[in-house]
Chain A
Amino acid sequence: MPDIGKSLSDAEIRRTEENLALIKEQERIIADAAERVRQAGRPAEAIHKRGQMTAHDRLEYLVDPGTWCPLHTLYNPADNEEGCTGVINGLGKIEGKWAVIIAFDNKVMAGAWIAGQPENILRVTDLAKRLNIPLVWLTNCSGVKLMEQERLYAGRRGSGACFFRHAELNQLGIPVLNAIYGTNPAGGGYQGISPTILLAHKDANIAVGGAGIVGGMHPKGHFDLEGALKLISATKSFKAKDPGRVETHFDQTAYFREVHDTETGVLDGIKRYMQALPAYDPVFFRVAEPAEPKFSTEELNRLLPANQKRPYDICQVLARITDNSEFMEYRSDYGPEVVTGIAKLEGLPVGIIANIQGIFPDYPEYAQGAYQGAGGKHYRQGLIKQNEFVVLCGRDNLPIIWLQDTTGIDVGDLAEEAELLALGQSLIYSIEQTDLSMMCVVLRKGSAAAHYIMGGPQANNNNAFTLGTPLTEIYVMHGETAAAAAYARRLVKEHESGRDLQPILDKMNQMMVDYHEKSRPLYCAQRGFVDEVISLPDLRKYCSAFVGASYQNPRSITPVHQMLLPRVIKG
Chain B
Amino acid sequence: MANLTSPMPGKVMAIKVAVGDKVEVEDELIILEALKMETPIYAEDAGTVAAIKVKEGEAVKVGDVLVVIE
Q: Which residues does A use to contact B, with CB under 8 Å?
A: 9-12, 15, 307, 309-311, 357-359, 361, 372, 374-375
Which residue from chain A places its CB closest to the CB of B24 in the assembled complex?
A11
Question: Which residues 12-50 in B have Cβ within 8 Å of A in the complex?
Answer: 24-28, 34-40, 42
Q: Which residues on the A side are within 8 Å of B36 (C-beta)? A: 309, 374
Please, could you name 8 A-B residue pairs with CB atoms under 8 Å apart, sorted by A? A9-B25, A9-B26, A15-B26, A15-B28, A309-B38, A310-B37, A310-B38, A361-B62
Cross-interface CB contact of A359 among B8, B24, B28, B42, cutoff 8 Å: B8
Which residue from chain B places its CB closest to the CB of A374 in the assembled complex?
B35
Known A-B contacts A359-B8, A361-B9, A372-B9; the reply to A12 vs B26 at CB < 8 A is yes
Q: Which residues does B use to contact A, with CB under 8 Å?
A: 8-10, 24-28, 34-40, 42, 62
A186 to B9, CA, bound (A): 68
CB distance from A62 to the nearest CB of B (A): 47
**A359:B35 contact, CB within 8 angstroms:** yes
A12 to B26, CA, bound (A): 7
Known A-B contacts A359-B10, A361-B8, A361-B62; the reply to A375 vs B26 at CB < 8 A is no
Cross-interface CB contact of A11 among B9, B25, B37, cutoff 8 Å: B25
Cross-interface CB contact of A311 among B9, B28, B39, cutoff 8 Å: B39
**B26:A372 contact, CB within 8 angstroms:** no
Q: Which residues on the B side are within 8 Å of A12 (C-beta)? A: 26
**A374:B37 contact, CB within 8 angstroms:** yes
**A11:B27 contact, CB within 8 angstroms:** yes
Q: Which residues on the B side are within 8 Å of A309 (C-beta)? A: 36-38
**A357:B38 contact, CB within 8 angstroms:** no
A11 to B42, CA, bound (A): 10
Cross-interface CB contact of B39 among A10, A11, A15, A358, cutoff 8 Å: A358
CB distance from B28 to the nearest CB of A (A): 6
A361 to B61, CA, bound (A): 11
A12 to B42, CA, bound (A): 10
**A359:B26 contact, CB within 8 angstroms:** no
CB distance from B27 to the nearest CB of A (A): 6
**B40:A310 contact, CB within 8 angstroms:** yes
A375 to B62, CA, bound (A): 18
Other A-B contacts than A9-B26, A11-B24, A359-B34, 14 sampled, CB-CB below 8 A, are A11-B26, A11-B27, A12-B26, A309-B37, A309-B38, A310-B37, A311-B37, A358-B37, A359-B10, A359-B35, A359-B37, A359-B39, A374-B37, A375-B37
Q: Which residues on the A side are within 8 Å of B27 (C-beta)? A: 11
A15 to B9, CA, bound (A): 24
CB distance from A445 to the nearest CB of B (A): 11
A359 to B62, CA, bound (A): 12
Which residue from chain B places its CB closest to the CB of A11 in the assembled complex?
B26
When A and B form their complex, which 10 residue pairs have the shortest distance between CB atoms, in order from nearest?
A11-B26, A374-B35, A309-B38, A359-B8, A359-B34, A309-B37, A9-B26, A310-B38, A311-B37, A311-B39
A162 to B59, CA, bound (A): 60
A15 to B62, CA, bound (A): 25
CB distance from A293 to the nearest CB of B (A): 23
Q: Which residues on the A side are within 8 Å of B39 (C-beta)? A: 310-311, 358-359
Q: Which residues on the A side are within 8 Å of B34 (C-beta)? A: 359, 372
A11 to B29, CA, bound (A): 12
Which of B25, B26, B28, B35 has the most A CB atoms < 10 Å from its CB? B35
Q: Which residues on the B side are within 8 Å of A359 (C-beta)? A: 8-10, 34-35, 37, 39
